[in-house]
C-alpha cells in the first residue's frame, strides 16, 4: 500500500549468489576426455598404445636434445680451476668434457629430480647427440624406444670415454638394426660383447674403473628398515655371503629358530660391530627431543610425575603428561594458541616434568652421546634448543626479574668466553642463589618473562656453538633443494654474505653441504634467499625457483586445528611396548669372536625351508 490509499507492485532486486562453476572448467582438457578410451575396441586400444610408445620416444629425443644444448650453454671456463679457492677436490667422472660441474645441480632443479638422476641424463644426452647420431635419429623417428636407447648410451657413454670414436660408431652400427628385437638386458649384453670384440683393452679399463668405484652405502627402506649396499668385485661378494651363510647355519643348528636371512643380518652386524671387543669405542647416539610449546602448560605443577606410556592412545590420563613425548608421526593437541608466546620458566619446568615421566631417573643423554631438546611453535618453527643441564639450570634460576627473593641482589650474567655456548654461560650463576630465587616469594614461573629463545646475533664471521646447535637442529640436512646430506657434515653458511653485510644470526644461517656451499659461493647466476623462520628459496641461473622448509615446519597460515590428530577407532589397542625398543644390533648371534667355520652341510640332508 502506498501513501494516499493506492496499491501497487513493489520490486526488490536481490543478488543471487550462485556457486561458481568456473573452477571446474579452468583445468585443461584431459586426453581421456578428448580421446575417449571406452569407445575403442581392444585392437584400437593396442594400436593407440603403440602410437604412444612412438610419441614417447620422440619426446625423449627432444628432451635429450634440449639437455645437450643447455649443457653447451654452461661451459666449464667459469668454474673454479684446480688449485684455486673453491675448486672441487676430485673431478666428476661422469661430467662431459667442457661442461660446468654445477650444470647437474641446475638441471636437477629444472626437472625437480635428484642430482644423480640429472647427471645420468646429462651423460646420456651428450652421448646420444654427440657420439651416437644413428641411435638418436632412430629415437627421434620413433623406431627405437627410450629404454633401449638409454641402455646403448649407458654402455657407450662415460664408461667408454677412452674408446676410439670409430670403434663406438662400429658398435652402434652392429647393434642398432636388431635392437628392437632384443630385451633391454639382452641388448646390453650384445653391446658389451661387440665392444669387447673390437677393443679388448676396454673391458680391462672398465673393470679397473668399477673396482675404484667400490663403496658401501645405506638406502632407506620402508617400515623402519634400510638396505646396506656393498658394491665390490663379484668373487669377493660371493665369499662374503658364503661366510655369512655358514655362520647363520651354525647358529640355526645350535637351536636358533629365527629365519636364515635374519641370522645372516645378525652375523653381519656382529662381525662388523664386534660387541665382544671392549677396546673399541661404543656406539652412541645424538638424541633430539622435539617439544611443541603449545603442549606445555606452565600452570600445571603436580606434586609427583606419574608414569607415562608413550605407546598408548591419548586419553584423560595421558593427554597432559604425554603431550610432548609421543610416538613419531603423531601431533599433540594444542592446549592454547601460542603465536609467538615467550618461553617462560614455567614452560621449562613443565618440560622437565615430562622428561622425568618418561622413565625412571628421567630421560638423559645416552652414554657417549648427547640430548638436545628443541622447543617449537605450533607451526613447527624452531624457537630454542637446550641440553637437559641447561634446562635444569634455567628451572632453578627462574626469571631473573620476578623469581628472586626480596632483599637479594641479582647476580650479573657474565659474558661467554671465546668458543663457549652462551646458554652455558647463562646457566653458570650461583646455584644456591638460583634455588633460593625459585623458592622465595611468589610461585616460580608465574610471570610471562622469556627465559629461553634462539641464540642472539654475534659480531663475527664464525657462528657461536649455540648458533651452530640451533641451526643444525632446525635444518637437520643440507638445505639445498633435493639434497639430504646430514647437517653434521654440512657447513653453516651466511645466506646473505658476511662480506656484503649479512649478520651472523640464526635467521641468516643455513646448513649447506660442501658441494652446495661451493655452488652458492662460486657458481654464477644462483640466488639464495631465506625468511626469518627458515624458509629457503633458491633460484637457478635459468630462472627456476625452488623452496625448501625446515623439517616439521608448516605454512604459517595453516589452521592449527588441521594438525590435530584424528580420533582413534574405539577398538584401537595400545601397541606392544617392546616394539619401541631399538637395540643397535638386535639379538646377538655371535657371542664371541668366530672360530674356524664348520663344514657346509650336505644339501641332501638340509630340511625345509633350506
Q: Which residue has the higher pLDDT, 108 or 602?
A: 108
Q: How far is CA 191 from CA 131, 157, 166, in A?
A: 15, 12, 15
Measured over the CA atoms of residue 52, residue 54, residue 59 and residue 64, the dihedral's sign is positive
CA separation for the pair 60, 150 (Å, rounded): 10
pLDDT level of residue 276 (50, 70, 90 thresholds)? confident
Output the CA torsion 44→49→50→54 (10° steps).
140
For 213, the enclosing helix (H) or strand (E) is none
Q: What is the pLDDT of residues 93-133, one digit of tens each?
A: 788 889 999 999 999 999 999 999 999 999 999 999 999 99
Q: Is the pLDDT of residue 466 over 60?
A: yes
CA separation for the pair 317, 309 (Å, rounded): 10
Among 119-123, 317-321, 410-414, where is mean pLDDT lowest? 317-321
Task: Single out the residue of 423, 427, 420 nearest to residue 393, CA to CA.
Answer: 427
User: What's residue 2's pLDDT?
Assistant: 45
Q: What is residue 458's DSSP assignment?
A: B
CA separation for the pair 2, 6 (Å, rounded): 5
Output the CA torsion 291→293→294→295 (10° steps).
40
Provide the H-helix boundaries in 455-601: 465-475, 514-522
Q: How far is CA 182 from CA 141, 146, 175, 194, in A?
A: 19, 14, 10, 15
User: What's residue 584's pLDDT?
Assistant: 46
Determine how β-strand 370-376 pairs with β-strand 382-387: antiparallel
Q: What is the pLDDT of residues 139-168, one digit of tens each?
A: 999 999 999 999 999 999 988 888 899 999
Q: Is the pLDDT of residue 182 over 50?
A: yes
User: What's residue 565's pLDDT?
Assistant: 35
First and final CA of the chain: distance in angstroms?
A: 100
Q: What is the pLDDT of residues 490-520, one digit of tens each?
A: 999 999 999 999 999 999 999 999 999 999 9
Q: What is the average pLDDT across 63-80?
A: 94
pLDDT level of residue 437 (50, 70, 90 thresholds)? very low
Q: What is the average pLDDT across 57-82?
A: 94
Q: Is the pLDDT of residue 564 over 50?
A: no
Q: How far is CA 72 from CA 65, 128, 147, 407, 591, in A?
A: 11, 14, 25, 77, 59
Among 228-232, 311-315, 457-461, 474-478, where is mean pLDDT lowest? 311-315
Average pLDDT, the chain: 78
Among 2-16, 283-297, 589-603, where is mean pLDDT lowest? 2-16
**3-state secondary structure at position 220:** strand
Provide the H-helix boundaries in 254-344: 260-273
Q: What is the pLDDT of residues 185-200, one digit of tens each?
A: 999 999 999 999 998 8
Q: Is 212 exposed, middle or buried (0-12, 13-18, 19+ CB in 10 A)?
A: exposed
Q: What is the pLDDT of residues 215-250, one digit of tens each?
A: 999 988 888 899 999 999 999 999 999 999 999 999
Share of the chain above pLDDT 90, in %: 45
User: What's residue 20's pLDDT?
Assistant: 55
Measured over the CA atoms of residue 469, residue 475, residue 479 and residue 485, the dihedral's sign is positive
pLDDT level of residue 396 (50, 70, 90 thresholds)? confident
pTM: 0.72
Amino acid at each position: 500500500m502506498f501513501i494516499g490509499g493506492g496499491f501497487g507492485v513493489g520490486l526488490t532486486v536481490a543478488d543471487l549468489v550462485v556457486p561458481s562453476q568456473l573452477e571446474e572448467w579452468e583445468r585443461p582438457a584431459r586426453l581421456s576426455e578428448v580421446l575417449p578410451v571406452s569407445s575403442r575396441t581392444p585392437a584400437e586400444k593396442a594400436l593407440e598404445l603403440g602410437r604412444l610408445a612412438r610419441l614417447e620416444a620422440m619426446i625423449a629425443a627432444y628432451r635429450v636434445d634440449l639437455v645437450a644444448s643447455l649443457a653447451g650453454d654452461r661451459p666449464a671456463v667459469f668454474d673454479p680451476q684446480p688449485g684455486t679457492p673453491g675448486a672441487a677436490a676430485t673431478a666428476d667422472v661422469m661430467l662431459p668434457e667442457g661442461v660446468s660441474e654445477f650444470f647437474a645441480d641446475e638441471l636437477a632443479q629444472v626437472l625437480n629430480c635428484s642430482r644423480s638422476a640429472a647427471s645420468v641424463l646429462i651423460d646420456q644426452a651428450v652421448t646420444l647427440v654427440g657420439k651416437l647420431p644413428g641411435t638418436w635419429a632412430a629415437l627421434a623417428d620413433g623406431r627405437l624406444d627410450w629404454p633401449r636407447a638409454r641402455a646403448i648410451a649407458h654402455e657407450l657413454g662415460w664408461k667408454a670415454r677412452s674408446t676410439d670414436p670409430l670403434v663406438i660408431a662400429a658398435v652402434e652400427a652392429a647393434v642398432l638394426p636388431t635392437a628392437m628385437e632384443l630385451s633391454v638386458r639382452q641388448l646390453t649384453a650384445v653391446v658389451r660383447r661387440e665392444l669387447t670384440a673390437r677393443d679388448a683393452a676396454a673391458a680391462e679399463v672398465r673393470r679397473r674403473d668399477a673396482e675404484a668405484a667400490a663403496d658401501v652405502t645405506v638406502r632407506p627402506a620402508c617400515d623402519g628398515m634400510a638396505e646396506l649396499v656393498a658394491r665390490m668385485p663379484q668373487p669377493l661378494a660371493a665369499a662374503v655371503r658364503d661366510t655369512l651363510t655358514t655362520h647363520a647355519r651354525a647358529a640355526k643348528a645350535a637351536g636358533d629358530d629365527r629365519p636364515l636371512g635374519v641370522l645372516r643380518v645378525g652375523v653381519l652386524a656382529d662381525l662388523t660391530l664386534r660387541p665382544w671387543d671392549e677396546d673399541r669405542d661404543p656406539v652412541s647416539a645424538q638424541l633430539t627431543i622435539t617439544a611443541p610449546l603449545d603442549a606445555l602448560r606452565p600452570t600445571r605443577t603436580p606434586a609427583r610425575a606419574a608414569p607415562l606410556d608413550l605407546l598408548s592412545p591419548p586419553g584423560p590420563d595421558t593427554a597432559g603428561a604425554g603431550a610432548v613425548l609421543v610416538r613419531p608421526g603423531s601431533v599433540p593437541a594444542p592446549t592454547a594458541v601460542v603465536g609467538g608466546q615467550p618461553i617462560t620458566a614455567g614452560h621449562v619446568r613443565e618440560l622437565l616434568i615430562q622428561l622425568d615421566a618418561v622413565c625412571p631417573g628421567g630421560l638423559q643423554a645416552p652414554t657417549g652421546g648427547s640430548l638436545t631438546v628443541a622447543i617449537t611453535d605450533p607451526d613447527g618453527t624452531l624457537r630454542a634448543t637446550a641440553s637437559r643441564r641447561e634446562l635444569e639450570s634455567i628451572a632453578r634460576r627462574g626469571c631473573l626479574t620476578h623469581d628472586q627473593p626480596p632483599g637479594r641482589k641479582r647476580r650479573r650474567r657474565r659474558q661467554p668466553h671465546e668458543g663457549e655456548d652462551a646458554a652455558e654461560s647463562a646457566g653458570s650463576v650461583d646455584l644456591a642463589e638460583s634455588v633460593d630465587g625459585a623458592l622465595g616469594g611468589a610461585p616460580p614461573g608465574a610471570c610471562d618473562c622469556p627465559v629461553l629463545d634462539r641464540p642472539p646475533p654475534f659480531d663475527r664471521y664464525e657462528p657461536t656453538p649455540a648458533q651452530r646447535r640451533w641451526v643444525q637442529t632446525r635444518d637437520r640436512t643440507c638445505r639445498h633443494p633435493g639434497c639430504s646430506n646430514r647437517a653434521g657434515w654440512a657447513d653453516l653458511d651466511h645466506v646473505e654474505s658476511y662480506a656484503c653485510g649479512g649478520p651472523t644470526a640464526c635467521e641468516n644461517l643455513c646448513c649447506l653441504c660442501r658441494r652446495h656451499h661451493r655452488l652458492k659461493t662460486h657458481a654464477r647466476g644462483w640466488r639464495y634467499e631465506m625468511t626469518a623462520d627458515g624458509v629457503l628459496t633458491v633460484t637457478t641461473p635459468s630462472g627456476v625457483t625452488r623452496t625448501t622448509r625446515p623439517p616439521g615446519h608448516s605454512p604459517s597460515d595453516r589452521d592449527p586445528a588441521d594438525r590435530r590428530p584424528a580420533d582413534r577407532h574405539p577398538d584401537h589397542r595400545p601397541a606392544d611396548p617392546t616394539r619401541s625398543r631399538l637395540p643397535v644390533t638386535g639379538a646377538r648371534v655371535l657371542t664371541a669372536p668366530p672360530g674356524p667355520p664348520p663344514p657346509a652341510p650336505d644339501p641332501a640332508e638340509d630340511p625345509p625351508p633350506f
